[in-house]
């Protein structure tokens, strides 16, 4: 059959009859509405076949309605290409339409970036747009088995394959071991920038000019003080409180100090809180440490840089002015740069999920910091140190690796959800650690760590699973050499990550597509049950740990 006349006829008459996947004739697209025609042509051959199978009498349907703009182009399919007065034989129509489709595939009318889905439960076919390598989960809701069906959902525990936002902040290629902030490779930023420059980059999208940087540093420096009531609040913690617990609780407590922080829809108020938070997190972190070791709190010193001032608040004793070792201050600044953001990790996701309720940023950052505290996330660096202590010496490494391979324990500081290659941050930390050791002397745990890495990287178990050292593997050793106690490691992570969380929050608050985060569930519990009065209830099996021993 010569296709061109068939399709030309369709164009000439401007009538293209469409049907839904159940083979139901919906009408035709009018001359005036060429976008609908295009929408109708947005269809798949499989859909036509489905319609034909389901409704072989389609060609005989009487009376046409004008479809107008198809409410959802993916629900309507072309069945033939003629008007009602020039009906062709059904078989011919179908074949023509099919051929027209194969002709148009890849042509200007057939969108390339689409996905055709056939629901084998109903034999219906749907087409959904593909954008940035994703389909929208809500596009699946139209896929139903009947009117009472809620519609298809995706099930993705732990977000293994779900993009929850569009973000222009951080780019990671886990297979190639690439990490970039706003397009700049992490290696370049670590070498050429200060942490505050990088924080500005994350939050504002560009590196600051000299003037902007001066103002930014001034603003942050002049927001490092804590309200005296916050100091008193911290004094109330138990002497042995974990610094991370104090950090999280005190950030949350700032919500009570700054009621204006609730104006989350105001861009200027948001920026005000961002400056406060970035300025105050080192002060809170340092106070957590001083409280933990029983030393008096030290007030910020505005003459010092961000990291020098942090070191001052941590370690100043009776000297009139604290002088930080420049190599240690720079190494800490590099560590802050490396930890500043890491796209949609567990804590960034917590920040976005909690922030989506439009709560103030202190409560949202406290939630993100809570997520960071877990040993599978930011708590891993502390666990690495415990692990190295447990191994004790290089000679015990093979036995430890054996236990890991048998599945009894995990090698802390190894493995990553995204990196299936050497974590680029771990490489920089290894280099930076050498600069620190030149000042502090070598941390003997480094030899155990290097031996662990050497054996693991040669071992089939780790090679097959693409398990490489992550950022936490060497950072703990470095922190310890600098004089930090392991309990402080996650707090050190949280200080710079506050900038990343806030950048994610800013993006969330300005994204018109975002709403309150609210996942769906697959309900696996009982259907409706009859209430059982107290005297009729039977003992039920309790979770093993109840009552608590």
The site for ligand COA (CB under 6 A) is made up of 376, 380, 404, 410-417, 465, 467, 470-472
Q: From the CB of 279, what's the least distance to ligand COA, in Å?
A: 27
Please tell me whether residue 20 adopts helix, strand or coil conformation: coil
| CA separation for the pair 345, 322 (Å, rounded) | 36
Question: Catalytic one among 76, 223, 342, 416?
Answer: 416
- Residue 322 vs 462, nearer CB to ligand COA: 462
- Residue 458 vs 535, nearer CB to ligand COA: 458
Whether residue 13 contacts residue 51, with contact meaning beta carbons closer than 8 Å, is answered with: no
Half-sphere exposure of 316 (CA within 13 A, CB side): 21
| CA separation for the pair 432, 410 (Å, rounded) | 26
- Residue 24 vs 171, nearer CB to ligand COA: 171
Active site residue 325: no
| CA separation for the pair 154, 150 (Å, rounded) | 12
- Residue 25 vs 401, nearer CB to ligand COA: 401
Q: From the CB of 369, what's the least distance to ligand COA, in Å?
A: 16
Nearest residue to ligand COA on Cβ basis: 415
Cβ burial of 229 (10 Å; 0-12, 13-18, 19+) is exposed
- Residue 471 vs 502, nearer CB to ligand COA: 471
Q: From the CB of 187, what's the least distance to ligand COA, in Å?
A: 18
Could you give the residue ranges of the DSSP H alpha helices within 392-488? 397-405, 424-440, 445-458, 460-464, 471-482
- Residue 130 vs 418, nearer CB to ligand COA: 418
Please tell me whether residue 180 adopts helix, strand or coil conformation: strand
Q: Give the alpha-carbon dihedral of 61, 62, 67, 71, to 10 degrees.
A: -40
Question: Catalytic one among 227, 377, 447, 511?
Answer: 377
Q: From the CB of 238, what's the least distance to ligand COA, in Å?
A: 28
**Angstrom distances, CA of residue 171 to CA of 163, 185, 287, 498:** 13, 9, 34, 18
List the structure tokens of 307. 């990291």
Q: What share of the chain is helix, strand, coil (3-state, %, to 5)?
A: 55, 5, 40
Active site residue 15: no
The residue among 534, 331, 539 whose CA lies nearest residue 430 is: 331
Active site residue 80: no
Q: From the CB of 420, what's the least distance to ligand COA, in Å?
A: 10
Q: From the CB of 507, what's the least distance to ligand COA, in Å?
A: 22
Residues tagged active-site: 377, 416, 472
């Amino acid at each position: 059959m010569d296709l061109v006349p068939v399709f030309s006829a369709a164009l000439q008459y401007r009538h293209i009859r469409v049907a839904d996947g159940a083979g139901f004739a919906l009408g035709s697209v009018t001359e005036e509405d060429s976008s609908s025609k295009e929408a109708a042509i947005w269809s798949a051959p499989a859909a036509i076949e489905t319609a034909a199978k389901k409704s072989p009498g389609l060609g005989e349907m009487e009376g046409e309605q004008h479809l107008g703009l198809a409410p959802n182009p993916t629900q309507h399919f072309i069945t033939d290409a003629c008007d009602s007065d020039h009906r062709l034989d059904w078989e011919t129509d179908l074949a023509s339409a099919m051929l027209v489709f194969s002709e148009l595939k890849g042509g200007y009318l057939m969108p390339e970036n689409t996905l055709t889905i056939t629901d084998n439960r109903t034999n219906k076919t749907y087409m959904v747009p593909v954008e940035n390598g994703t389909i929208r989960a809500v596009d699946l809701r139209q896929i139903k088995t009947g009117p009472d069906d809620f519609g298809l959902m995706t099930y993705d525990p732990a977000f293994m394959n779900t993009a929850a936002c569009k973000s222009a902040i951080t780019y990671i290629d886990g297979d190639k071991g690439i990490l970039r902030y706003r397009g700049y490779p992490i290696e370049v930023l670590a070498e050429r920038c200060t942490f505050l420059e990088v924080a500005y980059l994350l939050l504002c999208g560009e590196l600051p000019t000299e003037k902007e940087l001066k103002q930014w540093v001034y603003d942050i420096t002049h927001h490092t003080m804590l309200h005296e009531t916050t100091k008193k609040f911290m004094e109330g913690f138990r002497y042995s409180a974990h610094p991370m617990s104090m950090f999280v609780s005190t950030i949350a407590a700032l919500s009570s100090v700054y009621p204006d922080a609730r104006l989350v829809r105001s861009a200027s108020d948001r920026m005000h809180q961002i400056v406060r938070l970035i300025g105050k997190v080192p002060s809170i972190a340092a106070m957590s440490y001083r409280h933990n070791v029983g030393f008096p709190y030290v007030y910020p010193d505005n003459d010092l840089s961000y990291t020098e001032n942090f070191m001052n608040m941590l370690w100043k004793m009776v000297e009139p002015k604290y002088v930080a070792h420049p190599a240690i201050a720079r190494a800490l600044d590099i560590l802050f740069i490396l930890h500043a953001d890491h796209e949609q990790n567990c804590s960034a996701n917590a920040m976005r999920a909690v922030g989506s309720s439009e709560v103030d940023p202190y409560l949202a950052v406290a939630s993100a910091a809570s997520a960071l505290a877990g040993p599978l996330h930011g708590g891993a660096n502390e666990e690495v140190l415990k692990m190295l202590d447990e191994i004790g010496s290089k000679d015990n490494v093979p036995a430890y690796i054996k236990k890991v391979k048998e599945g009894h324990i995990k090698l802390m500081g190894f493995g990553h959800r995204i990196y299936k290659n050497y974590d680029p941050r771990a490489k920089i930390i290894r280099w930076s650690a050498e600069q620190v050791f030149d000042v502090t002397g070598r941390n003997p745990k480094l030899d155990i760590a290097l031996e662990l890495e050497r054996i693991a990287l040669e071992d089939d178990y780790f090679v097959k699973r693409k398990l490489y050292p992550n950022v936490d593997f060497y950072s703990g050793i470095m922190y310890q050499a600098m004089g930090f106690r392991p309990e402080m490691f996650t707090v050190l992570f949280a200080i710079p990550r506050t900038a990343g969380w806030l950048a994610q929050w800013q993006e969330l608050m300005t994204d018109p597509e975002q709403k309150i985060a609210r996942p769906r569930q697959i309900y696996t519990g009982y259907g409706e049950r009859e209430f059982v009065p107290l005297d009729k209830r039977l003992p039920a099996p309790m979770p093993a740990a109840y009552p608590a021993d």
